[in-house]
């Protein structure tokens, strides 16, 4: 039996649009476009080409047709002019529901990943869903949240939802080894919404954006749109990856949790990851399990051979999987054998995958 991620209902689920189907009727481009999930560690999932605003996930009927629908009604009424590029303002009364809609949409979008992937870390904590459901009648975002509203000035993103784990670092102390919150970015037409949510109250700080976007939540006065520096295509990745977040507190830094944003560019193919090799012509594969292990601070070494044929010694590290040496199979085997550590077999791909825990 399927379970609703928000309220915990078990039974037959309805199909909730990740982005409300009202977006199909306000005048946006409806030509088919590529759909991709991710990236986590720069690994995306190709979902194929289809018309926009058609991606759905399973949610129970009471959530879909109740509190979620009410948030969609507010979003349609208040955000449609901004999506189409018309200047205006957002009232303080509507700011809370819009910020709650931003979080609801991000949480819903993360359900596109399979339950197996979410259990392995490719998602947000289940408690986030339950807590937002608890606040469903208040129409406000989760505690320790901040949200901003801006203008997207690029050309390549009709509709985008981006979620990045973030950390709170204190000058003079080691970098946190686990995320303490997440940043969310949504682009719809010319509208950009950006938010942060600290998942524990202890490290919560007051944040701002480098672009000086007006704060949507918490707020007590109307918000004028557009305002602040627009985000174009050249600036989007840094912005969505939380690099442009600033703490207003001295000696405290906000930024992305690096294992989620700075691994080398790779591509997920089923349960494997394809890593480009130094030769520039081929890829070598390793199990997706090692990505999940790296997220938990556990790293491995292994040997692979490309089609040249050139052999490679590969290490997984906090900032990615790296080719440490290249040469003949015999030479790479000697380097691998000389490494300290226990040799183990990892599941997650066809055949046996032998590696050493570093």
SS3 for 113-147 is CCHHHHHCCCCCCHHHHHHHHHCCCCCCCCCCEEE
Question: Does residue 264 have a pLDDT over 70?
Answer: no
| 272-276: strand order across its sheet | 267-269, 272-276, 283-287
Poorest-confidence range of 5-9, 37-41, 129-133, 346-350?
A: 37-41
Return the higher-pLDDT residue of 97 and 312: 97
Q: How confident is the model at residue 84 (pLDDT cuts 50, 70, 90)?
A: very high
Average pLDDT estimate for 76-89? 98
15 φψ region: left (φ > 0), alpha (ψ -120 to 50), beta (else): beta
Cα–Cα distance for residue pair 6/14, rounded to 1 Å: 13
Both tokens of 196, joined, read: 């942060």
CB atoms within 10 A of CB 342: 8
Share the mean pLDDT of the chain.
Answer: 88
Max mean pLDDT range (73-77, 114-118, 119-123, 247-251) = 73-77
Task: Determine the pLDDT at residue 306.
Answer: 87
Q: Tell me which of 11 and 176 has the higher pLDDT.
A: 11
What is the average pLDDT across 221-242?
A: 93
Q: Residue 209: which of 249, 244, 181, 168 has the closest Cα?
A: 244
Q: Is the pLDDT of residue 173 over 90?
A: no
Give every CB contact of residue 179 below 8 A, 6+ residues apart in sequence.
165, 166, 167, 199, 257, 260
Confidence of residue 204 (pLDDT cuts 50, 70, 90): low
Look at residue 102 and give its three-state secondary structure. helix
Structure token digits, residue 199: 């998942």
For residues 315-331, average pLDDT: 80
pLDDT above 90 covers what percent of the chain?
57
151: Cβ–Cβ under 8 A, 6 or more apart, which residues?
82, 190, 191, 192, 225, 226, 228, 230, 231
pLDDT value at residue 290: 87
CA distance 232 to 125: 31
87 — pLDDT class (breaks 50, 70, 90)? very high
Q: Quick one: average pLDDT of 92-102?
A: 97
Average pLDDT over residues 188-194: 98
Gap between the Cα atoms of 249 and 268, Å rounded: 39
Asked if pLDDT for residue 201 goes beyond 80, the answer is no
276-295 mean pLDDT: 81
Which of 167-171, 223-227, 247-251 ranks highest by mean pLDDT?
223-227
Give the per-residue pLDDT at 307: 85
Percent of the chain with pLDDT over 70: 91
Q: Please count the CA atoms within 13 angstroms of the CA of 38 that sit on its side-chain side.
A: 19
| pLDDT score of 41 | 46
Residue 327 has pLDDT above 50, yes or no: yes
Least confident interval from 167-176, 265-274, 328-337: 265-274
Does the pLDDT at position 303 exceed 50?
yes
The answer to whether the Cα torsion of 142, 146, 147, 153 is positive or negative is negative
pLDDT for residue 77 is more than 90: yes
What are 134-165's pLDDT values in tens digits?
Answer: 999 999 999 999 999 999 999 989 999 999 99
Query: Is pLDDT of 43 > 60?
Result: no
């Amino acid at each position: 039996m399927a379970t609703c991620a928000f309220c915990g209902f078990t039974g037959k689920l309805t199909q909730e649009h990740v982005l409300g189907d009202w977006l199909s009727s306000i005048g946006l481009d409806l030509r088919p476009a590529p759909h991709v999930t991710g990236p986590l560690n720069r690994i995306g999932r190709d979902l194929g080409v289809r018309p926009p605003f058609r991606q759905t996930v399973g949610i129970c009927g009471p959530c879909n047709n109740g509190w979620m629908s009410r948030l969609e009604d507010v979003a349609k009424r208040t955000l449609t002019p901004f999506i189409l590029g018309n200047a205006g303002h957002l009232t303080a009364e509507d700011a809370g529901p819009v910020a709650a809609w931003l979080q609801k949409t991000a949480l819903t979008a993360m359900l596109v990943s399979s339950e197996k992937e979410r259990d392995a870390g490719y998602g947000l904590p289940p408690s986030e869903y339950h807590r937002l459901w608890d606040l469903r009648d208040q129409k406000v975002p989760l505690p320790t949240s901040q949200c901003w509203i801006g203008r997207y000035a690029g050309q390549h993103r009709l509709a985008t939802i981006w979620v990045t784990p973030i950390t709170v670092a204190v000058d003079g102390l080691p970098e946190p080894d686990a995320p303490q919150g997440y940043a969310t970015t949504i682009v719809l037409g010319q509208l950009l919404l950006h938010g942060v949510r600290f998942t524990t109250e202890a490290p919560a700080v007051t944040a701002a954006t480098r672009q000086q976007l007006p704060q949507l939540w918490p707020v007590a006065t109307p918000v004028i749109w557009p305002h602040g520096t627009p985000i174009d295509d050249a600036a989007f990745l840094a912005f969505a990856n939380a690099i442009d977040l600033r703490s207003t507190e001295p000696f405290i830094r906000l930024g992305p949790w690096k294992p989620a944003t700075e691994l080398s560019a790779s591509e997920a193919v089923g349960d494997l990851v394809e890593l480009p090799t130094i030769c520039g012509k081929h890829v070598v594969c390793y199990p997706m399990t090692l990505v999940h292990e790296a997220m938990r601070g556990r790293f491995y070494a292994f040997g692979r051979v490309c089609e040249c044929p050139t052999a490679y010694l590969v290490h997984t590290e906090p900032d990615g999987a790296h080719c440490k040496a290249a040469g003949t199979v015999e030479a790479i085997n000697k380097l691998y054998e000389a490494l300290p550590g226990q040799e183990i077999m990892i599941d997650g791909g066809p055949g046996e995958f032998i590696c050493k825990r570093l």
